[in-house]
Structure 1
Amino acid sequence: MISKNFYYQLITRVLGIVVTAIVMAFFFLKEYNALGIVVAIALIIQTSLLIQFTNNTNRKIAHFFNSIKNEDFTLRFPENLDIKSLRELNSSLNMLNSMIQKVYLKNEAQEKYYQEIIKQANIGILTLNKKGHILFVNPMMENLLNYKPLNHINQLAQVSEELHRFFSNIEPFENKLFQFSNEREKVQLSIKSTSVMLNKEELLLVVAQDIHKELDKNETDSWIRLIKVLTHEIMNTITPITSISASISKFFKVGDSIKPINELTENQIKSTSKGLDVIKEQGENLMDFVQSYRTFLSVPNPDKEPISALKLLDNVRLLLESSNTNITIKTIVKPFDLEIFADEKLINQVLINLIKNAFQALENRDTGGVITLLAGINENHTKYIQVIDNGSGISEEVMSEIFIPFFTTKNKGSGIGLSLSKHIMRLHGGSIIVVSNDIETKFTLLF
C-alpha cells in the first residue's frame, strides 16, 4: 500500500511536470514569451517540489536505518500528515521500529541469560583473537589462571611463562593436559580449543577444567568404597574364626587354668574338630581373597600385536558355548578382516570374565538366552568389542559399584573380574564402559 501510494504520488508529479513542459514549449513556439516564462517558473517549482518529495522520503528511510544501526529505538515519525502516502509510510516505519525493538530486547535478554550461565559454569571459558586479545572470559577461567581481569594473553606471563607460551601457541581443535604452579597451588588443566567465526572474524574458543581436584575427589571416593568392600570381606571371614575360637577355648579352660584332658567329653572333642575345620576353611577363603588381590596387582604389561577380531571371538565362543547349552553365543565382526592391536591372552581373559557374567545374568532363563560378541569400528574410527546379553540388566545402585575391586553381588566369586578387566583395558590404553536396561546389558571394550 505504501509503495503504491508513493508510486501514484510520483506519477502524478511527473505527469504534471510533463504537461507543464509541453505548455511551456507551446507558448514559446507561439512567441507568447511572457506566458512561457511564467510556465517555466512553474516547471522549476514543480521539479523542485518533486526532488524535495523524493529526498524527504529517502532521508526519512536512511535516518530510520541509521537509528536501527545505532540501536536507537526512540525514533518516531509523525502520523498526522495530510499526504496519505507519507502518513502510511510513517506508520509502517513506526510499526517496524517497534517490532525490531522487541526482537532486539528479546535477543539481549537471551544473551544476558546465556552469559550468566557461562559465568556460573564450573569450567573455564575464554575467547581470543589472532592478536591475543581476550574478548570474553568467565570468572572460573580467571580463577583457574589466577589472574583478573584478563584482557590479553600477555598478562599470563605474570602467572607463568609456560602458561603464556602455551596460550600463545595454542591452535584450534587441540585437546591437551597442561600443568603449572602458581603462587597458590599446583594446577592441572584439561584444555580444549576450537575455532569460531564471529562477525567475519576468526576467534579461538578455549575451554579449561581443573582435573587435579576432580581426580583427587574421585580417587578419595574410590578408596572409601574399596575400604568398605575390603572391611566387609575381611570381617565376614574373621568374625566366624573369632567366635569359634572363643567357643573352643572355653572347652579347654576353667577360669585361667587349663582343663585336664581326662575331663574333656567326646562331644567337646568333636566340636573342637569341627571348629578347627571351619577355621581352616575360613583361613583358606581369606588366603584366596589375598591371592585375588595379588592377582589384581600383578597383571603384566600387555605384549601387544595385531590379532584377528574374528579369530579372537570365535576362539572364546568355542571355549565357552558348550558350558551352557541353554544360551546361544553369536559373533559378528564388521569389517570381516578387522584386526585389533592388543595382548591376545589378556583380552581373552577380559572376554571370558564378561561372558561368564552374562551366563550368570541369564541363568534363570530356560530358553532364549543370547550373548552377542560384536567387533567393529565406531564413528570416531575407534575399534571396539562388545559383549551383549538379553538378561534382566544391572540396577543403578549396583552399576556405580561393579568396577570396584572385590565388590560382588554373587554368593560365589572374588569380585575382581570386572575391576581386573578394567585394569587390563587401561593397560592397553583403552577403556571399558557398560550400558544396561531391562532389555539388555552391553559391555564395550574400546581400543
Structure 2
Amino acid sequence: MAGIWTGLITIGLFYETVRFVDQSERKLVAFLQSLNQNDFSVTFSENRKSNDYDLHVAFNQLNQTFKSLRSDRESQHQLLQAVVEHATVPLVCFEEDDGAIFLVNDAAKNLFQLPFVQKVQTLERVDVTLPRFLREIKDGEKSTFKLTIRARTVFLSVLSRHIIFKDKKLKLIAFYDVSSELAAKEAETWQKLLRVLTHEISNSAIPLSTLSAYIREMLEEAKGQDRELTESERQDLMQSLRTIDSRSQSLREFVQNFRTVNAIPEPKLEKLAIGNLVMEAINLFTREFEMNNICLKMNGVHSAGHVYADRNLTMQVMINLIKNAVEAMNNFKENKFIEITTEKTGQRYLHLHIADTGCGIPPEDLEQIFIPFFSTKKNGSGVGLSVSQQIMQRQKGDISVRSTPGRGSVFTMTFSI
C-alpha cells in the first residue's frame, strides 16, 4: 500500500513539475515576443503566494529595464536629430552602395537651394561634378570644392567620414564655407607679392631712369657747346650703357621667372615608390656631397611605401630642396649633415622630411619664403620654393618648413597615399 502511495505522489510531483516548466516556458516565450515587438505593456502578477513569484518579478524588472533603455535611446535619437537639424554646418549622409540619402539637414538644403534630396545624384542640379566628387572623396580626407549657385561662388572645405550603421555603409559629408578665409589669405598673399614685385622692379627701374637722365644731360651739354664728347665722357657713356644693358637683362630674367611661376603643368598622378624617387634625386648630388664633406643620413625611406604624385614634378621639388640644403651649409666647415626621414599620418598622408644643419632661416622670413620672388639668397630668384609649393598643392599635398637660425632647417613634403 505504501508503495502505491509513493508512486502516486511521484507521478503527481512529476506532473506538477512538467506543468510548471511548461507554464514558465510559455510565459518566457510571451515575454521575449513582447520585447521583440517593443511592447512593454505586458506585466506579470506578483503574487507572493504563487510559485511563479520570483519569475514574475524578474520578468517585470527586465521589462522595465528594456523600457527605460528604449526610452533613453529614443530621447538620444531625438536629441541627435535636433542637433543635426539645427547645426549651422551643412551635413549630408548617404549610402555608398546606391547613393540614397540617409540624412540631410536644413543647413545643407539652404546651401544647395534644394528643398528635397533623395539621392546624391540629385545634387547634379547644383553642380554636375558634385555627386562624383562626393563619391570619390576618401574617408578622413579634407578637400576643397568651388560651388557656384545663382551667380554666387563659394569655396567649400569638404570633410568625409565613413560610418557603418545597421550593416549599411554610409558616408557622412560636412561642408564648411571658407570663402572669407580664402579671400583674406589671397588678399594678404597679393599684398606680399606686390611688395616683392615693387621692390624688384624698383631695383632695376630707378638705376635705368637715373642713368638715362645722366646720358641725356651729357649729350645735351656736348650739343649745346657744339663739341664732341671727351674720352672720359665716352667711357662714362659706355659704362652707363653697359649698366643699362645689365639691368635690362635682369628685368628680362625677372619676367621669365614670373612666367615660370604661372606656367606649372597639370600634374599626372601615378603610384610611385617614395624610396626610388629619393634615391634618384640623391644620386644627382653624390659628387657634391663628397666635395663639400656633407654626411647624408636616411631613415625609413626605403620602407616608406608608395605615394600618388607626378614623377617629374616631384623630382623637381626634391632636387630644389636638397640643393637649398647644400647651399645652406656653404659657410660651414664641419658638422654638415643632411638627414632624410619619412613619417606617416594615419592612412592618408606620408611626410618626407629633408633636414640640414645649415644657417637656418630668420623668423621674420619664414612666412615669406614661399612668396614668389622672395629670396634670402644674395643671387636667388625667389622662384624655386614658390613653384615647389604650388606643385605639391596641385598633387593634393603640401610643403612646410620649420627652422632655427644657426642650427638648420627642416622642409617637409606631404604626399597623399
TM-score, scaled relative to structure 2: 0.61
Distance 1:294 1:320, change over 3 A: farther
CA distance in 2, matches of 1:369, 1:119: 54
Letter in 2 for 1:362: M
Alignment equivalent of 1:324, drawn from 292, 295, 298: 292
Alignment equivalent of 2:247, drawn from 261, 277, 282: 282
CA distance in 2, matches of 1:337, 1:376: 8
CA distance in 2, matches of 1:246, 1:345: 48
2:211 aligned residue? 244
CA distance in 1, matches of 2:173, 2:208: 60
The CA deviation at 1:383 is 6.2
The CA deviation at 1:214 is 6.3
Question: Could you list the per-position Cα deviations for residues 228-251 of structure 1 after superposition, in whole angstroms to 9, with x for gaps in the alignment?
Answer: 322221111111111222233333
1:44 aligned residue? none
1:272 aligned residue? 237
Alignment equivalent of 1:435, drawn from 401, 404, 412: 401
CA distance in 2, matches of 1:177, 1:410: 34
1:380 aligned residue? 347
CA distance in 2, matches of 1:58, 1:378: 51
Q: Is the 8 A contact 2:392 2:399 kept in 1?
A: no
2:105 aligned residue? 137
CA distance in 2, matches of 1:426, 1:378: 17
CA distance in 2, matches of 1:389, 1:156: 50
Task: Calculate the aligned-residue CA RMSD, in Å.
Answer: 5.5
Letter in 1 for 2:289: E
Alignment equivalent of 1:233, drawn from 190, 200, 203: 200
CA distance in 2, matches of 1:223, 1:158: 34
Distance 1:67 1:433, change over 3 A: same
Q: What are structure 1's unaligned runs of at least 5 residues? A: 1-46, 73-106
Q: Is the 8 A contact 2:372 2:383 kept in 1?
A: yes
1:102 aligned residue? none
- Structure with the higher helix share, 1 or 2: 1
TM-score, scaled relative to structure 1: 0.57
CA distance in 1, matches of 2:47, 2:252: 111
Distance 1:163 1:177, change over 3 A: farther
Q: Provide the secondary structure at the position in 1 that maps to 2:241.
A: helix
Question: Could you list the per-position Cα deviations for residues 48-98 of structure 1 after superposition, in whole angstroms to 9, with x for gaps in the alignment?
Answer: 8878xx99x9999899979977989xxxxxxxxxxxxxxxxxxxxxxxxxx
The CA deviation at 1:197 is 6.5
Name which of structure 1's ranges 431-440 and 197-206 shifts more when overlaid on structure 2.
Answer: 197-206
Distance 1:390 1:232, change over 3 A: same
CA distance in 2, matches of 1:411, 1:253: 38
CA distance in 2, matches of 1:282, 1:370: 38
Report whether the alignment pairs 1:416 with 2:376.
no
Distance 1:368 1:261, change over 3 A: farther
- Residue pairs, 1:339-418, within 5 angstroms: 347-374=314-341, 379-380=346-347, 385-391=352-358, 393-395=360-362, 397-418=364-385
CA distance in 2, matches of 1:396, 1:192: 32
Distance 1:173 1:246, change over 3 A: closer
1:125 aligned residue? 91
Which structure's relative contact order is higher, taking Cα pairs within 8 Å and 6+ residues apart?
Answer: 2
- Residue pairs, 1:137-216, within 5 angstroms: 137=105, 139=107, 141-147=108-114, 153=118, 160=125, 166=131, 182-183=149-150, 185=152, 189=156, 191-196=158-163, 205-210=172-177
- Point out the structure with max Rg over C-alpha: 1
Q: Is the 8 A contact 2:99 2:121 kept in 1?
A: no
Letter in 1 for 2:412: F
Distance 1:154 1:59, change over 3 A: same
Q: Provide the secondary structure at the position in 1 that maps to 2:227.
A: helix
CA distance in 1, matches of 2:161, 2:267: 35
Q: Provide the secondary structure at the position in 2 that maps to 1:404.
A: coil
Q: Is the 8 A contact 2:99 2:120 kept in 1?
A: no
Q: Is the 8 A contact 1:358 1:371 kept in 2?
A: yes
Q: What are structure 2's unaligned runs of at least 5 residues? A: 1-45
CA distance in 2, matches of 1:339, 1:155: 32
Distance 1:294 1:210, change over 3 A: same
Q: Provide the secondary structure at the position in 2 that maps to 1:253.
A: helix
Q: Provide the secondary structure at the position in 2 that maps to 1:414.
A: coil
